[in-house]
Structure 1
Amino acid sequence: MIQLYPASKRYTVKNDWLESNLSFSFGEYYDPSNIRFGPLRVFNDDTVQPGRGFGIHPHREAEIVSIVLKGQLKHEDNLGNAGIIGTGSIQRISAGTGVLHSEFNASKQEEVQFLQLWFSPDEKKLTPSYEDISYDLEQMHNQLLPVISHTGSERVAKIHQDLTLYLSRLDGKETLTFRQEEGRRIYVFTIEGEISINNDNILKSRDAARITDLPEITIQASQDSFFLLIDLPGGEF
């Protein structure tokens, strides 16, 4: 089954420094029918104005992934980690038993756009940890490039959940096929452009699809497109 979630149906939080489009219940937005998709429980599409950001705040029992789409994101935490990530970088935080961190736009001139995803970990009370990796932008051209996985490797961040997150830039009219084991889930999010899943399920910019009971899908771009795909476990969460 393929369920489409248009960008226009997301809940939007907006003030003088932040615009956040929420795909799942988060903060002031609560919908009991839209809490999670398997272990994926937060998918926020954030734009932060120059020099602004989220001050020091706590997290626990979550795997937090940030993907910068434009600009630079500055991170600091109580584990002693500090740095700036930009386009072509992925940040993973395992909050585990508890972590304090802040996130700010590192630029005083341009906004930063990033996606932040939270996943339930595969075990509780993990020791908090941090990782950031850079990936080869050319390697996702017309193919699915893994950037996060349960095993991790060079240029692939390790996450404490049975999932793999892929990025791809697909030329117009090009096609990809994705296969996974029976009983798993697929989440697709179009960052830019327009793609179709199995011919007749159209995803325009910032649209999403939640897919179950389909271990194989075909993705075709109607124009040059940038999207992510997450191979997620099945079962109850």
Structure 2
Amino acid sequence: MANTVLHKANTRGFADHGWLKSHQTFSFAGYYDPHRIHFGALRVLNDDVVLGGGGFGKHPHDNMEIISIPLEGDLEHKDSMGNTAVIKHGDIQVMSAGTGIYHSEYNKDAAEAVKFLQIWVFPNKRNVDPRYDQVTLDPADRHNKLQQILSPDKDDAGVWIYQNAWFHMGNFDKGVSSEYNLKAEGNGVYIFVLKGDVKVNDQLLNTRDGYGIWDTEKFTITAETDAEFLLMEVPMEFKY
């Protein structure tokens, strides 16, 4: 029998900094819930809106895999390795913070807001040399099927991280169903619904709900309406 946890959208933490509005699935900064520290190796899932002209000033990270998934608008990235890049819808950005990195992120568009997911995953290897990467994927390739956007394999589709993790995105029409088979024993999957209604096995999820499932080899996800979602498979037990 699979184990599950349900996090309804309206139970998330929320921070309003004026230029930034952030919904936090797991404890982060001023939001703390002892029952919602992480899901396995998945440490942070922030659903962020950066208003026009706003942004995160230069700040440090270390020993964390940091993934950004833009949903709307363009976000400019600069870091201490000399990288300057713009990430937009269809792009997946990753940083292995390793021994330490500084970076900043800004919305240079004065009128349009940027919406993106900020995700942190505990790495399986500490104190690596910091690195930055991003890929541009075609969102059409997730229409009515699962598109892999992240894995542990440098030569596989999407970006890669120092963890036995796989991420997929789907954009399903109403009624479309897919079976997901977990890639590694001991892993679980955290499902985050970007829009619409889906069922994971018999559990109904609505927009911005999160649902974790583990101690299972597979599950079925079905679009009850037109729906977009993110699947994050991560180890449930890990050393950090």
Task: Give the TM-score normalised by the residue count of structure 1.
Answer: 0.96
Paired-residue identity, %: 39
C-alpha RMSD of matched pairs (Å): 1.2
Name the aligned partner's letter for residue 65 of structure 1.
I
- Tell me the secondary structure at the aligned position of residue 30 of structure 1: coil
Asked whether the equivalents of residues 134 and 155 of structure 1 are also in contact (C-alpha less than 8 Å), the reply is no
Aligned residue number for residue 196 of structure 1: 199
Match for residue 217 of structure 2 among 215, 218, 227: 215
Asked whether the equivalents of residues 68 and 90 of structure 1 are also in contact (C-alpha less than 8 Å), the reply is yes
- Tell me the secondary structure at the aligned position of residue 152 of structure 1: coil
Match for residue 113 of structure 1 among 115, 128, 148: 115
Aligned residue number for residue 25 of structure 1: 27
Asked whether the equivalents of residues 72 and 88 of structure 2 are also in contact (C-alpha less than 8 Å), the reply is yes
The runs of 5 or more residues in structure 1 that have no matched partner are none
Q: Cα distance, 1:154 vs. partner?
A: 6.3
Match for residue 53 of structure 1 among 33, 52, 55: 55
Match for residue 173 of structure 1 among 150, 172, 175: 175
Aligned residue number for residue 187 of structure 2: 184
Q: Cα distance, 1:115 vs. partner?
A: 0.2
Question: Structure 1 residue 100 and structure 2 residue 105: aligned?
Answer: no
Name the aligned partner's letter for residue 189 of structure 1.
F
Name the aligned partner's letter for residue 29 of structure 1.
Y
Aligned residue number for residue 79 of structure 2: 77
Task: Give the TM-score normalised by the residue count of structure 2.
Answer: 0.95
Q: Distance in 2 between matches of 1:167 and 1:41?
A: 19
- Tell me the secondary structure at the aligned position of residue 223 of structure 1: coil
The count of aligned residue pairs is 236
- Tell me the secondary structure at the aligned position of residue 35 of structure 2: coil
Q: Distance in 1 between matches of 2:106 and 2:131?
A: 19
Name the aligned partner's letter for residue 58 of structure 2.
I
Q: Distance in 1 between matches of 2:168 and 2:7?
A: 19
Aligned residue number for residue 46 of structure 2: 44
